[in-house]
Amino acid sequence: MRHMGTQWWIGLVSSFLASAVEVVEAVTIVLAAGVTRGWRSTWIGVISAAITLSILVAVLGTALQTLIPLNVLRIVIGTLLLIFGLQWLRKSIMRYTGLKELHDEDKIYQREVAELSTVSVSPQNQNMDWTAFTVAFKGVLLEGLEVVFIVITFGLSAGNLTPAVLGAVAAAVVVTSIAVLVHQPLSQVPENTLKFVVGIILTSFGTFWAGEGIGLLWPGDDLSIVILIAFFAVGAITLISLLHRRVAQTTPGSAVKEVVS
C-alpha cells in the first residue's frame, strides 16, 4: 500500500507515546498493589492482563482486516480516532489552562495504598492474594484497552500491525523497567504533554483516514498528515492561550476544576 512506508515510523512513534501514557498510569496501580499486598499475586494479575490484551489484538486485528472493506474500515477507524484524539486534547488543554487538575501519580499511588491497606488477607488464601490480583489485572486491562485500540487502528489503516505492536511493547518495557529501578510512581513523566502530542497525532490521522474512507483525495497524499498535525497543533496552542487569558481574568475562587482522572 502506498501509505505503509511513510506511516510505519509514525505508527511506531505514536503507539509508543500513547502506550507510555497508559503504562505509566497502570504502573502506579501495580506498584501500589505490589508494595502493599505482595508481588507474587500482583505479577500474576499483570501477566494475565497482558495475555488477555495480546489475544484481543490478535483476534480483533485479524477479524476486522478480513471482514470489513478497507474504505469502510478507514471511515470507522478515522471517526473513532477523532473522538479518542479530541478527548485527549480536551483533557490536556484544560489541564494546561488550570480548568482541570493535573494527573498526579503520587496522589493516586497514596490513595491506592490507603485503600489496599484496609483489606485484610484471608487465612484461607495465603498462597494467592485475590485483592492484589484483581487490582493489578483490572488496572493493566483497563489502561491497556486504550493501547489495544490504538495498536489495532494504526495497524489496520497502515495494513501492518508490526510497527504499532512494537511501539506498544517498547513503551511497556521501557516504562516498566524504569519503575522497577526507581521503585516509585513515575510522577516526573510529562504525562500531560504526551497526551497533548498524542491527541494531536490521533486527531490528525483520524481526519486523514476518515477523509480517505469517503473518497477524499488529499493534496500531497501522506504529506497532508504533517499539515494536519501542524493545523491542529496551532489551533490547540491558540485555544490554550485564549483560555489562559480567560482564566486569568476570573477570581481565584471562581474557576471550577474537574476531579483528577
Q: What is the mean pLDDT of residues 229-239?
A: 92
Q: Encode pLDDT of 67-94 as tens digits.
A: 777 677 778 888 888 888 898 898 888 8
Alpha-carbon gap, residue 170 to 181, rounded angstroms: 17
Task: Tell me the CA end-to-end span of the chain in Å, nearest whole number.
Answer: 39
What pLDDT score does 258 carry?
Answer: 43
pLDDT band with cut points at 50, 70 and 90 for residue 46: very high
Q: Is residue 258 part of a domain?
A: no
**Which domain, by its residues, includes 142?**
4-119+127-249
Flag whether the pTM goes above 0.85: no
Percent of the chain with pLDDT strictly greater than 70: 82
Residue 67 C-alpha cell reads as 471482514
Q: Encode pLDDT of 127-142 as tens digits.
A: 788 888 999 999 899 8
C-alpha distances (whole Å) from 212 to each of 14, 63, 157 are 20, 21, 10
Percent of the chain with pLDDT strictly greater than 90: 13
Q: Is residue 84 part of a domain?
A: yes
pLDDT at 248 over 80: no
Q: Encode pLDDT of 170-183 as tens digits.
A: 988 988 888 878 76
Q: Is residue 257 part of a domain?
A: no
Residue 47 C-alpha cell reads as 501477566
Alpha-carbon gap, residue 163 to 168, rounded angstroms: 9
Angle (CA) 56-58-59 rounded to 5° is 65
Q: Is residue 261 part of a domain?
A: no
Number of structural domains in the chain = 1
Does residue 118 or residue 210 have the better pLDDT?
A: 210
CA 131 to chain CA mean position, Å: 25
Alpha-carbon gap, residue 114 to 137, rounded angstroms: 19
Q: Is residue 254 part of a domain?
A: no
Q: Which residue has the cell 506498544?
A: 168
Q: Is residue 98 part of a domain?
A: yes
Does residue 68 or residue 104 have the better pLDDT?
A: 68
Nearby residues of 61 by Cβ (< 8 Å), 6 or more positions away? 151, 152, 155, 156, 161
- Is the separation of the CB atoms in 98 and 255 below 8 Å? yes
pLDDT band with cut points at 50, 70 and 90 for residue 2: very low
